[in-house]
Amino acid sequence: MNTTIVSLVSMGTMGALFALGLAVASKKFAVETDPRVDEIEEVLPGVNCGACGFAGCRSFAEGVASGEAAVNGCPVGGARVAKLVAEIIGVESDGPKRRVAQVLCKGGLAEAKQRGTYDGPQDCRIAHVTQGGDKVCSYGCLGYGSCVAACPFDAMYMDENGLPVVIEEKCTACGKCVEACPRDIIMLVDEEQGVHIRCRSLLTGRFVRQACSVGCIACQRCVKVCPTGAIYMEDNLAHINYDLCTNCQECVAVCPMNTIVWQEGKPLIEKVVAN
């Protein structure tokens, strides 16, 4: 009985003393962290995907608190998270733009010509570095679905024409498909943009026609017709400057190869363009 009491008292006293010491030390060695960092981390998705360019959600939160990162820098969280983060920081979030992936190739099984059969592993990257797949065009989609496999959000599928399709409602612009594509045909674009030049071929018109029935032949009609100067020609390929494009669809109408497409349901955009 006596031993029990002595044990309890001695251990209890020791514990209390150490607790006191640690309490003092924690005050003395307190690290001043920005309390906003914890708050921001709280509202972030927390998947640590790294799509924002920081090492993880914690780093991104620190970045926002210190002003290195934009409040709408989390592509996965989208507008909802951007708004919450902006509230914590105390700034107005200027309507963060949601981005989605766009596949810049139209050359599926029906359009792109075959030059043989490919029997290797069904993976775009392997096909690309070995003999380049079975299509004549060496710029377009290989069609083995590495982007679809890479998508962590099930936001892509391969259609019956052998081309990847992005389900824009599910896309979080994490950029995994962009990384996975060995031919760089996937791009992250503001969701509101509805006009896209779906070709990446740098060949001249004659060779494009030999390879594909929907490739850009660099005829320049779209460049001439564009009222805002959003389309320019570079390396035998029409490029679109999304900062200037207003979704007016003039180019879609004149494109002889139907390379330029209009996605139904996208809004017309008013853009104030500074000279």
Cβ proximity to other proteins, 9 vs 79, nearer residue: 9
Shortest Å distance, C-beta 25 to other proteins: 5
Write out the E strands in 71-214.
Answer: 99-103, 156-158, 164-166, 186-190, 195-197
Decide: 230 and 269 in contact? Cβ < 8 Å: no
Shortest Å distance, C-beta 77 to other proteins: 25
**Angstrom distance (rounded) from CA 227 to CA 235:** 22
Cβ proximity to other proteins, 10 vs 114, nearer residue: 10
Shortest Å distance, C-beta 124 to other proteins: 26
Nearest to 108 by CA among 186, 160, 46: 160
Cβ proximity to other proteins, 57 vs 238, nearer residue: 57
Cβ proximity to other proteins, 62 vs 111, nearer residue: 62
Cβ proximity to other proteins, 18 vs 157, nearer residue: 18
Cβ proximity to other proteins, 22 vs 129, nearer residue: 22
Report in angstroms the alpha-carbon separations of 218 from 88, 141, 239. 49, 19, 10
**Angstrom distance (rounded) from CA 163 to CA 95:** 32
Q: Which residues bind other proteins (CB under 8 A)?
A: 3, 6-7, 10-11, 14-15, 18, 21-22, 25-26, 29-31
Nearest to 37 by CA among 10, 55, 57, 14: 57
Shortest Å distance, C-beta 240 to other proteins: 43
> Which amino acid would we find at residue 152?
P
Sequence-ordered list of residues with C-beta below 8 angstroms from that of 113, at least 6 positions apart, any chain: 135, 136, 137, 210, 211, 212
Position of tokens 């070709």?
Answer: 199
Q: Nearest 5 degrees, angle CA 181-CA 198-CA 260?
A: 170
Shortest Å distance, C-beta 3 to other proteins: 7
Shortest Å distance, C-beta 58 to other proteins: 11
